[in-house]
Chains A and B, each alone.
Chain A
Amino acid sequence: MPWQLITRSLRRYPVRPPDSGIARRKSIWERIHLDPWLLGMLLVLMGGGLVVLYSASGQRIDTVIAQAMRFGIALSGMVIIAQFSPSTFLRWAPLAYGAGLAMLLAVEVVGDVGMGAKRWLEIPGVIRFQPSEMMKLAVPLMVAAYLNRCQLPPRLRDIVVCAVIIGVPVVLTAIQPDLGTSLLVASAAVIVVLLAGLSWKLIGLVAALGAAGLPVLWMNMHNYQRQRVLTFLDPDSDPLGSGWNIIQSTTAIGSGGLWGKGWLEGTQSQLEFLPERHTDFIIAVLGEEFGLVGMLLLLTLYIMIVGRGLWLASSSQDTFGRLFAGSIILTFFIYVFVNVGMVSGILPVVGVPLPLVSYGGTSSVTLLAGFGILMSIHAHRRLLPR
């Protein structure tokens, strides 16, 4: 059984004992609690994103500047967050989770309606944000914190508790309705449980239940959500309506060919055939103007980030750090997969931006905050009591 082969091989190379702490001086990166590799790759990604954004925004430099400033703020946030020790996050987890939950309820009561859904919470003149965005971090954080106290692999009771921790905010988000975000929140948290060693039997059971629950989900979906699914199954059924996005984005990507049409030369993008071209569908601009080569370079960069992230996670010394770091980095990959899959027509259209490339502030801040925690976990090894 390959499975046992893997476990056995891992057993044969036990974890390196913690550094004795005698010989080595801390490097500059360790002192500022950042991982140079990860930071470098993120900067390359953001830089490349800005180049594509300039084209995708219709060559509006002010859009690029606005995005760069958001990146600046988000990066500052990341650096600050990285300075906190993981124990801080562990301690704050219940607080963050509780506050998020309260805000989600508040949205339900007094939330702003935008685009037919209540998503925003606003303190007029001060701030306006989506609590569900914050829950993308708070829920997995809470689950990781909870599981940190348990013996792993988790027992059924623990799993039920986790399910409640996950279920309440996910349902609250879903009824806003914001199915995309609720699924992302759920997956981020579920990944924590999976990494913690959820038993395979249970995974199989849940998968079976999920498949059985699909019709129920369908029944409870809003019309526009159903439409998205139907359009995904057959975009040509409504080429000028809901199928338009996917037809235009596949056309943009397909017409790019191997090398692309060149920067700023993509007719689908520049002539506005492509909808949402600087936000959710920005990868189609890349595909059209830089071709398959550009796409592969981008995907490679993402994979390298994910690989580095997983490496950092697995080198963490405590369960909480590992679980949460792993969840952050795998969720990051899910964003990439869902976005690229949606734009290239193998997944239904859900509003998931391309991480750190799509125009928009909130998701960049959340993502980089996540990376900040990841770096903190990595850089504060040995600071947690074992």
Chain B
Amino acid sequence: MPQRRDTLKNPEQELRIFRVRALLAVLVVIVLTSLLVGRLGYLQIVQHDLYSTRSEKNRVRVEPLPPNRGLIYDRNGTLLAENRPTYNLTLVRERVDDLDDTLALLVDLLELPEEEIEAFQVRSRQRQRPFQPALLMSDLSEEHIARLAVNRHRLPGVEVEAQLLRYYPDAEVMAHALGYVGRINAEELQDLDPGRYAGTHFIGKTGVERFYETELHGEAGLRKVETNARGRVLRELGRTDPVPGANLTLTLDRSLQMLAYELLDGRRGSIVAIVPSTGEILAMVSTPGFDSNQFVTGIDVASYRALQEDIDLPLFNRAIRGHYPPGSTIKPFLALAGLVEGVITPDSTINDPGFYQLPNDSRRYRNWLRWGHGRVDMERSIAVSNNTYYYTLAHDLGIDKLHERMTNFGFGQRVAHDVQGESTGLMPSRDWKRARFNQPWYPGETLSVGIGQGYWQVTPLQLASATAALANRGHWVKPRLAQRIGEEPVPAELPDTLPDIQLANDNWWDRVYSGMEKVLSGSEGTARRTGVGLEYRMGGKSGTAQVFSLGQDQRYNAEELEERLRDHALFMAFAPIEEPKIAVSVIVENAGGGSTHAAHLARAMTDAWLLEDEAPEAEEVKEVLEEDTANVEGN
């Protein structure tokens, strides 16, 4: 029977109810607590490893430490490529009190146009994390650095940060030989080992910088750091130091390289000089040059276009990629081919009526001297650059043997050990013509090849290498640019070196040299004017390459057109004959006036290398050249 509300309360019953409920509450508490304990046990015991890993991953970050790039020296230890600190203006937003004020002050201090404030504002927001420095301006001038230093107390959060950038002291002169580094692009990134290149921003793009990229780059290090939730580095947990890249000592001689550059005097051309006995490339110049430092920081579009569209093609490395008909410079090599094949002996002669005719062919292949040189032996054929002798020789050899012998001199293939981007040139053959034009080889074409014309194309480096092998009595030493990588010398004998050229009689070498000496010193020599006053015995050979056609899309004005139709001047030489110390090839595009121009430059090079006290000045050579243009003579 239910009790009414105003009836007596029953304390006993109420206490009992409470106790029952309280007991139940205790049960609930126990159940819920067990639930918590179970959950904690699951997290802390069962899943402990998982969460341990997670928490480690949270806090530990691996940061790459990029290695310093190896330096590049010339053979005398002169620095050719260095890492120069440049200074960047950075801003850490988190530490700046008033961003707008700071930016305005910066623009004021650095005397920048007002518009920069906006650009600064954009750049200051580049970094999402406010404690990471945002780059405001790169490559600060010394004056800027000084001003910032003086006003440092007014600029909390603004820092001048140093960064190492590649710098080439003689950029224009060395640009083609050394190459340059540039920022790694997306394409390169795909092929790179991400571990090695983590933290590296630059990579060798061309030249030595590219070829020796692996050695110069070094090994990246890394450090393990502890970061907080916002990514700020709190401390270093471990560290593997980077291994800096190896310093590279090149075979190049900076002063000879400079001289070669000056000798070419802004003309289009190339000079390559090699030590015959060691294959060391002393100079490898292509002009016009360009400022490779521009490419390190990233060249602006306008400048790049200007370089690309320059009709003198300054970006084109003529020394290794320029294809030139060798002209008469290859006559000594052809003579040697004849000797090797037994087609001629040094004493065999021909009679030159001023032209050559193939059997059953009325066409006359002319000597450059209309009335002919009369009786011509091998030495004289070289000295006077007789064409008829070489028509005969080429015809007697035939294109197959000619091709084989010339290949042995390195024509039509890459010859150097460590020259990046070297072109093969072109040594024509029956097979080549079949493949290229689907035509048979005609005997007349052999005659053209015999005087270094026709399809035959060489690079200045090939011509210098062949000359070095010739000066070295047929012994091939592979041309190279690197002398030492770190402390490790590049071995004298390198793989894939061409086989030596062997003559039946070793004296025959001297007979060829004698012919080459007469080019400069003989009374009939084509470069006798250059040979005046030689203080050592020098052998050489002149050449003229006809310019057949112009590039298609190029527009020239009339004056330029005339200039660009002139012949290329070529010269190859070595000295001293008894113990050759330098072999050199010179090509000056559209120099005209026969080969004298090139010959003078070659002489200046050998003088500079051999006569230490009386090294010629480029200026003197220029004067001689100017005198010479007055009295032009054929080759």
Q: Is the CB of B21 within 8 A of A195?
A: yes
Q: Is the CB of A319 within 8 A of B39?
A: no
Point out the residues of chain A lying under 8 angstroms from B228, CB to CB: 271-273
B31-74 vs A, Cβ < 8 Å mask (1 yes, 0 no): 01101110111011101101110111011000000000000000
**B142 touches A (CB below 8 Å):** no
Q: How far is the CB of A207 from chain B (nearest CB, A)?
A: 14
- The residue that A314 contacts in the complex, of B12, B22, B39, B40, with Cβ under 8 A, is B22
How far apart are the CA atoms of A128 and B396 in the complex, in Å? 114
Q: Is the CB of B45 within 8 A of A258?
A: yes
Q: Is the CB of A152 within 8 A of B44?
A: no
Q: Is the CB of A314 within 8 A of B19?
A: yes
Stretch among B3-11, B572-580, B610-618 lining the A interface: B3-11
Q: How far is the CB of B130 from chain A (nearest CB, A)?
A: 15
B232-244 vs A, Cβ < 8 Å mask (1 yes, 0 no): 0010000000000
Q: Is the CB of B44 within 8 A of A386?
A: no
> CB-nearest residue of chain A relative to B32?
A337
Q: Is the CB of A257 within 8 A of B58?
A: no
- The residue that B9 contacts in the complex, of A319, A323, A330, with Cβ under 8 A, is A319
Point out the residues of chain B lying under 8 angstroms from A288, CB to CB: 55
> CB-nearest residue of chain A relative to B43?
A254
List A232-255 residues whose CB lies under 8 Å from chain B.
Answer: 248, 250-255
**B549 touches A (CB below 8 Å):** no
**A357 touches B (CB below 8 Å):** no
**A267 touches B (CB below 8 Å):** yes
**B26 touches A (CB below 8 Å):** yes
Q: Is the CB of B227 within 8 A of A256?
A: no
Q: How far is the CB of A360 from chain B (nearest CB, A)?
A: 22
> CB-nearest residue of chain B relative to A323?
B18
List B142-181 residues whose CB lies under 8 Å from chain A.
Answer: none
Q: Is the CB of A299 within 8 A of B36?
A: yes
Q: Is the CB of B55 within 8 A of A252?
A: yes
Q: Is the CB of A291 within 8 A of B44?
A: yes
Q: Is the CB of A326 within 8 A of B25?
A: yes
- The residue that A6 contacts in the complex, of B20, B36, B44, B51, with Cβ under 8 A, is B20
**A287 touches B (CB below 8 Å):** yes
Q: Is the CB of B18 within 8 A of A326?
A: yes
Point out the residues of chain A lying under 8 angstroms from B305, CB to CB: none
| A-side interface mostly | helix
**B13 touches A (CB below 8 Å):** yes
Stretch among A9-17, A25-33, A176-184, A219-227 lining the B interface: A9-17
Q: How far is the CB of A289 from chain B (nearest CB, A)?
A: 12
List A293-316 residues whose CB lies under 8 Å from chain B.
Answer: 295-296, 299, 303, 306-307, 310, 313-314
> CB-nearest residue of chain A relative to B14?
A152
Q: Is the CB of B18 within 8 A of A258?
A: no
Q: Is the CB of B12 within 8 A of A15?
A: yes
**A268 touches B (CB below 8 Å):** yes
How far apart are the CA atoms of A333 and B10 in the complex, in Å? 29
Q: Is the CB of A197 within 8 A of B17?
A: yes
- The residue that A254 contacts in the complex, of B11, B15, B50, B234, with Cβ under 8 A, is B50
Q: Is the CB of A346 within 8 A of B59?
A: no
List A84-106 residues whose CB lies under 8 Å from chain B.
Answer: none
Q: Is the CB of A299 within 8 A of B25?
A: no
Point out the residues of chain A lying under 8 angstroms from B14, CB to CB: 152, 197, 319, 322
Q: How far is the CB of B324 from chain A (nearest CB, A)?
A: 64
Q: How far is the CB of A308 from chain B (nearest CB, A)?
A: 12
Q: How far is the CB of A296 from chain B (nearest CB, A)?
A: 7
Point out the residues of chain B lying under 8 angstroms from A346, CB to CB: 35-36, 39
Q: Given A155-B5, A267-B58, A271-B59, are A292 and B41 neighbors across the interface (CB < 8 Å)?
A: yes
**B23 touches A (CB below 8 Å):** yes
Q: Given A254-B44, A258-B45, A271-B234, are A322 and B15 neighbors across the interface (CB < 8 Å)?
A: yes
Point out the residues of chain A lying under 8 angstroms from B227, CB to CB: 271
Q: How far is the CB of A152 from chain B (nearest CB, A)?
A: 5
Q: Is the CB of B44 within 8 A of A10?
A: no
**B370 touches A (CB below 8 Å):** no
- The residue that A307 contacts in the complex, of B5, B21, B26, with Cβ under 8 A, is B26
- The residue that B25 contacts in the complex, of A303, A310, A340, with Cβ under 8 A, is A310
How far apart are the CA atoms of A306 and B25 in the complex, in Å? 10
Point out the residues of chain B lying under 8 angstroms from A340, CB to CB: 36, 40
Q: Is the CB of B16 within 8 A of A7?
A: yes
Q: How far is the CB of A228 from chain B (nearest CB, A)?
A: 19
Q: How far is the CB of A115 from chain B (nearest CB, A)?
A: 21
A99-122 vs B, Cβ < 8 Å mask (1 yes, 0 no): 000000000000000000000000
Q: How far is the CB of B269 from chain A (nearest CB, A)?
A: 62
Point out the residues of chain B lying under 8 angstroms from A151, CB to CB: 3-5, 7, 9-10
Q: Is the CB of B7 within 8 A of A330?
A: no
Q: How far is the CB of B180 from chain A (nearest CB, A)?
A: 42
Q: Is the CB of B45 within 8 A of A292?
A: yes
Q: Given A15-B15, A271-B58, A271-B234, are A250 and B43 neighbors across the interface (CB < 8 Å)?
A: yes
**B229 touches A (CB below 8 Å):** yes
Q: Given A252-B55, A268-B55, A291-B44, are A10 and B19 neighbors across the interface (CB < 8 Å)?
A: yes
How far apart are the CA atoms of A175 and B207 in the complex, in Å? 74
Q: Is the CB of A292 within 8 A of B44?
A: yes
Most buried by B among A158, A313, A340: A340
Q: Is the CB of B18 within 8 A of A322?
A: yes
**B555 touches A (CB below 8 Å):** no
How far apart are the CA atoms of A329 and B234 in the complex, in Å? 44
Point out the residues of chain B lying under 8 angstroms from A11, CB to CB: 16
How far apart are the CA atoms of A356 and B83 in the complex, in Å? 61
Most buried by A among B5, B21, B33: B21
How far apart are the CA atoms of A155 and B4 in the complex, in Å? 10
**B122 touches A (CB below 8 Å):** no
How far apart are the CA atoms of A330 and B50 in the complex, in Å? 35
Q: Given A254-B50, A291-B44, A337-B36, are A273 and B58 neighbors across the interface (CB < 8 Å)?
A: yes
**A40 touches B (CB below 8 Å):** no
Q: Given A10-B16, A255-B52, A314-B19, are A341 and B36 neighbors across the interface (CB < 8 Å)?
A: yes
> CB-nearest residue of chain A relative to B38?
A346
Q: Is the CB of B21 within 8 A of A258?
A: no
Point out the residues of chain B lying under 8 angstroms from A326, CB to CB: 18, 21-22, 25
Q: Is the CB of B5 within 8 A of A150?
A: yes
How far apart are the CA atoms of A268 and B54 in the complex, in Å? 10
Q: How far is the CB of B246 from chain A (nearest CB, A)?
A: 40
- For the complex with contacts A268-B59, A344-B39, A346-B36, 5 further pairs of A-B residues with Cβ separation under 8 Å are A257-B44, A267-B59, A326-B22, A330-B25, A340-B36
What are 27 A-B interface contacts by the 8 Å CB criterion?
A: A11-B16, A14-B12, A15-B12, A158-B5, A195-B25, A251-B58, A253-B51, A254-B50, A255-B54, A255-B56, A257-B48, A267-B55, A268-B58, A268-B59, A271-B228, A272-B230, A273-B59, A292-B40, A292-B44, A296-B37, A299-B33, A307-B26, A313-B22, A322-B14, A326-B21, A330-B29, A340-B40
